[in-house]
Every structure is written in C-alpha cells, then in structure tokens.
Chain A
Amino acid sequence: MPRLSYREAIREGLREALAGDERVFLMGEDVGRYGGAYACSRGLLEEFGPDRVRDTPLSEASFVGAGIGAAIAGMRPIVEVMTINFALLAFDQIVNNAATLRHMSGGQVSVPLVIRMATGAGRQLAAQHSHSLEVWFAHVPGLKVLCPATVTDARLMLAGAIADPNPVIICEHACLYPSEGECAETGEGFDPWRSVLRQRGDAITLVTSSGSLPKVLDTAEQLGREGISADVIDLRCLRPLDLRPVLASVRRTGRAVVVDEGWQTCGLAAEVAAAITEQAFEALAKPVVRVCTAEVPIPYAAHLEQAALPHVERIVTAARELVG
C-alpha cells in the first residue's frame, strides 16, 4: 500500500471518480485554478478541463442547489463547500431539497449528490472557520453523513458516496489533511457505512470519529502503558449511525467514553450515550462519560482553542476515573 497524505488520498479519490464516470464533475469555490482551499483538487482542472472541474462564485446556496438540480437530471456532481461553516448558507438547499425530494415525490426524484466540506478546529482559524457541525446534517432523515478519519477512508469513502443514489455529505477534518498513512488502493470489501474497531482492548470502550480519532488512539496508547487496555471505535458514518460495534464493545467492557469535537448539548456523544443506556444498560458498570468541545465559539488564541477542544489529557483523565 502506498503512503499518502489525507489530502493526496482525497485527490486520488476525486481523480478516480472523475476518470471512472463521465457523469461525475466537481464544482465549488476555488476547486479549479487555485487547486482547492486545502489543495485537494490540485491538478484536476488541468487533467479534466473546466467543464468538469468548475470554479463557482461565492454563492453556496446556489451552487449546492445547482448540484442538486444536476443530480436530479442524472449527473453525479461532487460539490465542494470550502468549510462546514459556509455550508450553513446552503442549509436550505441541503435540508429542504436534497434530503426531502425523494420522499416528497414518492420516489420519482433521485438526488445522487456528494457534498464535501472541511470541518473542525485546531488551526487557529477562529470561530467562523472552526466549528464541527456534522451532527446538524446527521440529524436529518434523507441524508447520509461520512467522516473519514484515515487516509484509506479519505480515498475510498468518496467512491462509496458516488456510487450511492442518495445525497451524501462528506466531512473532512481540516487538521487531518497533512496527516499521512498507508492507503488502500482498491475498494474490495470496503464498507463506508459501518463503524470500525480501530484497536482492541477489554477494560474500556472509547468511541469517537473524524479528527478526534488520532487523539483517542494516542489516549489508548497512554492508557495501555498504565495497564488499561481500550477498545477504540471509529464511528466513520454519522448517518446511518452504526452502533452495533459500540454496543458489543460496551457489553464486554462495561465502561464507555464518547469523544466528540462537537458541542455536548444535543450532540453526537449524547446520541451514542443514549443508545448505550437504552440497549446495553445492564452491562454498564458506571455511567457513560462524554468528552466534547467546551460550549463556546471556538477561540482564536491557540491556548484557548486547545483548552476548548477534547485533548488527550482530558480523555485520559476521564478514562482513568471510569476504570478506577
């Protein structure tokens, strides 16, 4: 397996999608000549031309809506929204149109659309470029939401999303773009819609997704040195949310920490914790613990930003208390 960065893996995924199906095209702000705000699409304009790699005006509502229209007409658009914060300008199109049209039309209208966007904090971009709003989309029936946390997922989830006849949102964590790893080249046996056990342990279950996965893996390593072995589960797909590996793990460990870069109130961690208490309550030795982002807009100052986010020390402390 080649070693790629997350960004390069996305670029490979985009190239494969464009080369593999002439109905696929990419559009968004600065995806062409600039090469993508996070350089994911660098070189694709030169390779596939301006018809299939389209720079758009700063008109999120309308180019996302145009993607929906083109998908309805039988194309397979990949729309890039520069960050999830800007996707709020297109929220109406995503929630009121993409998610509803199949159901409202009794199955007559299909919206095979992929919308990619960067999410997450950690790069000192301040509140309006740093929020983790994936769960807002995950709340909506009719959408699917993928959160690749590894280079293989970054590359192959795209193919799964393109092949899917439903609207799929892919949230790429901004801090992961430079991260490197071994990247699988084929999708054989690859399932983007399932949670995955990233590490096996028996004392505690750590559940996470997206940009928090590396932090949780570091946590598990540190806990391991202290003699606490942890299961690490990467949720990968927030809708439909696959909780079977979480429940199976908690039935073994009896203890769970859910780590999410979103805010705690009404968030992803709440959903996971509720499902555990509903379906595996008898296995719990202690209440489920949530480690989430502080309930403030993400600050600009580096030390405040880090203080707001889930970090290894906080997760380790939470895990120790749960096991102790």
Chain B
Amino acid sequence: RLRFYGGTAIVGGELPLAVGLALADRMRATGSVTAVFFGDGAVAEGTFHESLNLAALWKLPVVFLCENNLYAMGTRLDRHQAMTDIHAKAAGYGMAAAAVDGMDVRAMEAASREAVESVRQTGTPFLLEARTYRLRAHSMYDPDRYRPKEEVASWQARDPVAGFAARLTAEGLLDEAAWQRLEAEVAREVADAVASAEAAPREPVADLTCDLLAAEEAMPCPA
C-alpha cells in the first residue's frame, strides 16, 4: 500500500526489481518515481551495471541512490573498485549523476529532491552517490579490525544526527529542552516497538507453509 518493497539480502539483487517497478510505472504512465538504495559494495555486482544500462536505455524513472560508506563489509572501496568515483560511473550509461555529502542532512535532502526532480523533468534515471560512513561495526559478529580507530573517530565527529542538532541549535531553531524531548520520544518509540514485538504471540507453526503460493493454492492458513 505504501509502495515500500523492502530490500534483498543478496547485494545488488534489488536493483533489477527497481527497474521493473519503474518499467510498470512507465508503461502505465503513473508518474511515480522509484528510489532504490544500495551500498558501494553493490557497485561491484553485474546487476548494478545491467540495471543502470537498462534504466537509461528504456528511460525509466529511477533514482539509484548509492550509500557509499567506503566499505563493502570489510573491504575498503579502493580495494574493490578500480575507479572509486562512483557517481562518475553513470557517464558510461549516459545517465545524470551527482555526489553529495551524506553526513550533511540538509545537503542530502536537497540533493535527493534534485535527483527526483531531474527524473520527473527528464523522464530518465539519476545516480546519486551519498558519501557517508558506517559509524559502528558491520554486525554483532564484526570485530571491526579492518579500519583505523582514528578514521572511525574522525567520521564519528561528523555524525549527521548530532551535527544537524548542533546546526539547528546554533540557528536558534532547537533548544536543549526540545532536543531532550525529541530524544526521549524517539527512545520511547523504539522501546515500545521492541516491547510490542516481544509481547506478540509467536507465529503458529501451522502457518509455516502459508503464503508460499497464492492463497487459493496454499495450504489452508489459520485465520
């Protein structure tokens, strides 16, 4: 209903899906734009290049948004890409592109808006590269031994949430009390979501085969 299609756990696997969603929109003239998000690691996958080519060839309304956090899990960008300027790769497909400071909330918002506007006005796709960083480890199992602590610290100093709050405060748009209130609201929302999930009943085992195939053919699903 919200047209949010989640992600795939196969890096690069979502790019062709976005091309297909946009193809359906183009064929039905809905005027919608599809945005697809992926990391710098996905740029090494064939589907990145195939999807950019297909979207440009067929003039499809897609914003390809690469969150370049400099590491494909543990492999630094310059150790997996011969050419590290990701947004420049769009030129190979005749596609408009830009890079933006992904740690700057306002710049990110403006660049995203411009990318969507470009797609709407030209009817052709756009590659936006957001230069950012992963402030924590890749997962709970990641000892984070592949990047210097000083590098992590230097990016932590540019934390986009803290940085945006500081700018709003400096501009008189946010005071300490309002900031504390916002922090508390968000913390409560997260805590409520966790509590709600943990309190919810587990899915019945009888539902195991539900939704494997469309309803009329699936095993009967308990109401």
Contacts and interface: CB of A to CB of B under 8 A. Distances in A.
Interface of A: 25, 51, 54, 56-57, 59, 61-75, 77, 92-93, 96-97, 102-107, 109-110, 141-142, 144, 164-166
B16 A68 contact: yes
Interface stretch (B73-81, B137-145, B146-154, B208-216): B208-216
B212 A69 contact: no
Contacts of A56: 54
Given A66-B23, A68-B17, A105-B6, A57 B57 contact: yes
A68 B215 contact: no
A62 B16 contact: yes
A92 B10 contact: yes
B156 interface: no
Interface in B54-112: 54, 57-58
B214 A165 contact: yes
16 contacts: A25-B27, A62-B15, A62-B19, A62-B51, A65-B17, A65-B19, A65-B47, A65-B51, A66-B17, A68-B17, A69-B17, A72-B20, A72-B21, A93-B16, A107-B210, A144-B213
Given A65-B15, A68-B20, 6 more contacts: A61-B50, A62-B15, A62-B47, A66-B54, A73-B20, A103-B210
Interface string B1-28: 0000110111001011111111111011
B118 interface: no
A210 to B, nearest CB: 23
B46 interface: yes
B19 A66 contact: yes
A72 B5 contact: yes
Contacts of B27: 25, 51, 70, 75
B16 A69 contact: yes
A1 to B, nearest CB: 30
Contact of A57 (B47, B53, B213, B217): B53
Contacts of B217: 166
A102 B212 contact: yes
Given A65-B15, A68-B20, A69-B16, A166 B47 contact: no
B47 A70 contact: no
Interface in B31-65: 46-47, 50-51, 53-54, 57-58
B23 A97 contact: no
A246 to B, nearest CB: 21
Given A92-B10, A102-B213, A59 B50 contact: yes
A107 B25 CA distance: 22
Nearest to A59: B50
A179 to B, nearest CB: 31
B8 A96 contact: yes
Nearest to B53: A57
A64 B5 contact: no
A109 B211 CA distance: 9
A102 B17 contact: no
A126 B16 CA distance: 30
Nearest to A102: B211
Contacts of A54: 58
A310 B60 CA distance: 47
Contacts of A70: 20-21, 23-24, 27
A103 B219 CA distance: 12
Contacts of A104: 6
A141 B210 CA distance: 12
Interface string B171-196: 00000000000000000000000000
A62 B23 contact: no
B201 to A, nearest CB: 15
The 10 A-B pairs of least Cβ separation, nearest first, read A69-B20, A65-B16, A73-B24, A62-B50, A66-B20, A59-B50, A165-B214, A107-B211, A69-B17, A70-B20
Contacts of B210: 103, 106-107
Contact of B20 (A59, A65, A103): A65
Contacts of A110: 214
A76 B176 CA distance: 54
Contacts of B6: 104-105
Given A69-B24, A97-B17, A63 B212 contact: no
B6 to A, nearest CB: 7
A62 B54 contact: yes
A69 B46 contact: no
B93 to A, nearest CB: 11
A181 to B, nearest CB: 30
